[in-house]
Chains A and B, each alone.
Chain A
Amino acid sequence: MSSALATRPPARAGSVVTEGLAVRALLIGIAVVFLALFLVLPLVTVFIQAFAKGWSAYLAAFTEADARSAIRLTLLTAAIAVPFNLVFGIMASWAVAKFEFRGKNLLVTLIDLPFSVSPVVSGLIYVLVFGAQGLLGPWLLAHDIQIIFAVPGIVLATIFVTFPFVARQLIPLMQEQGTAEEEAALTLGASGWHAFRTVTLPNIRWGLLYSVLLCNARAMGEFGAVSVVSGHIRGLTNTLPLHVEILYNEYNFVASFAVASLLAGLALVTLLVKSLLEWRFSAEIAAGARGH
């Protein structure tokens, strides 16, 4: 009896905590087909449509002056919005993670707020502050400052929609790391700035890079909020996503998908680097396990 038990293959011991092979294969099949159909197919379509009329038609989409100015504006917007949110995210997570104060939960909730606001509403609220009929409208008009239907509005709306990215990634990470290492550095005579640079920053660098990556992807791809504040002036206030829309609505599909493929390429690079970071540095990116 006992020898029969002992020779039972150990693999069977695991089988009580998983499903049969057929069920597993079926579930994997459903998951893969669903993802292929709903997520991968649209991505592939972008590239198929972009190259529908060959390389020269594809490249022609980028020689246009409007396309170039859209690329420039998108780069400029990200170049302002991402560093702004980087600095904000570090400041906010330092204040929240390294100190105990009242109302902390409320502060974190407020920082997260832009995530739960519709992109269109995010644009609308800036029109209400800076637009001609807005709160500051008359004052801005008197001083000849234009924010809505101009580049500053686009930058502000982009900062708003990407506002929580860095902070919400760093806060749990820095909370988990605690304050012991910084306290040790300070005890040994380091200044606060020195402690931050040599102790805190190396601890959070991968999490920081990770969040900046996602923040940048969203900043370059934001459509709804920017669409509301931009006014769609070609060559002036057109970002890449808005340019995609204009070309599409003009039935210029090849050019539209060509510009879109640039953004899709950015998304792919983002996903790739993000996955690499997750596989290599999962513990240094997120507190506890992985994830968002």
Chain B
Amino acid sequence: MAEPPLRPRRRFRQPSVIPGFGITFGYTLTCLGIIVLLPLAALVARASGLGLAGIWQVATDPRVASALRVSFGVSLLAALTASVFGFLIAWVLTRYRFPGRKLVDAVVDLPFALPTAVAGIALASLYAPNGLVGEQLAKLGIEAAYTPVGIYIAMVFIGLPFAVRTVQPLIEEIDKEIEEASATLGADRWHTLIKVVVPPLIPAVLTGFALAFARGVGEYGSIIFIAGNLPYVSEIAPLLIVIKLSEFDYGGACAIATIMLGISFVTLLAINLIQAWSRRRFGYV
């Protein structure tokens, strides 16, 4: 049997002795196509049927515009809160040793594990005017349930693990020698933290922020119970999609969904850019 001639041209796949590429690759593509790509393509097809003008028309409808403002605005605030406290929690969990640390660490993942509807009714009953926390807030003149404050609380709940878990591994990896070097060179602890420790963590903080933001914008189950869903006040964009669907207004539902998908792709792109920048600047993600 003659040896196959060596060809320098680039091929689709590097040769390998390991079998099974054809079947696993084919199976992967088939599943991906049927489960993910085909349905998403159906949305894109619907949306392009509406055209940019059609989508714009839906987006500028006062009720839709208000829902989009609530979803994006409150989610920004909630992601900011989650990032600040998430950083603090990640720092405490990696740097300090205290009794119950592992338990606290496990608790952080609760919003990942707890079904959103369960979180939703629990938050609603806690923050209702006669609820455990709602009663105290009412004394301070804060109405949480059935207002954007309630939406904010739910979004902080679901966004927090993203903020903690993106920063935590990087804090673990910090080489303490650079902190020692900084201290040896005369910097006090505060200066060391601000000038040496925090800068390399900024990309991870931004990534966590973006993930929490994207999750908050799309979130449905944990919000609708506490939000009260008053049009123009506490109605979120995902709920409006459900309402449009129940009215058989598929076009309206698709327009809102397309806007939300567009924003989440921009967020995804931003995360990738942050990570590419981080790789160039710090040598890791």
Contact = CB atoms under 8 A, between A and B. Distances in A.
B and A form one assembly:
yes
B36 A160 contact: yes
Given A135-B42, A275-B106, A223 B221 contact: yes
B199 interface: no
Contacts of B24: 91-92, 94-95
Contact of B107 (A35, A227, A257): A35
Contact of B126 (A45, A274, A275): A45
Interface in B119-171: 119-126, 132-133, 153, 156-157, 160, 165, 168-169
Question: What size tier do the contact residues of chain B reach?
Answer: 35 or more
Interface stretch (B10-18, B52-60, B62-70): B10-18
Contacts of A113: 36, 40
A117 B261 contact: yes
Contacts of A31: 85, 88-89, 92-93, 104
B79 interface: no
A22 interface: no
Which of A96, A117, A124, A187 has the largest count of B CB atoms less than 10 A from its CB?
A: A124
Interface string A120-134: 110011111100011
Contact of B16 (A179, A214, A274): A179
A144 interface: no
B43 interface: yes
Contact of B89 (A18, A24, A35, A95): A35
Interface stretch (A3-11, A57-65, A204-212, A262-270): A262-270
A88 interface: yes
B14 A19 contact: no
Interface string B8-45: 00101110111111011101110110011111101101
B219 interface: yes
27 contacts: A16-B189, A17-B176, A32-B104, A35-B104, A42-B123, A42-B126, A42-B157, A46-B118, A88-B28, A92-B24, A92-B28, A98-B18, A98-B20, A99-B21, A111-B28, A113-B40, A116-B264, A118-B217, A119-B116, A120-B220, A125-B42, A125-B257, A186-B18, A221-B116, A256-B121, A274-B109, A289-B169
Nearest 4 interchain pairs by C-beta: A221-B115, A118-B218, A16-B183, A192-B19
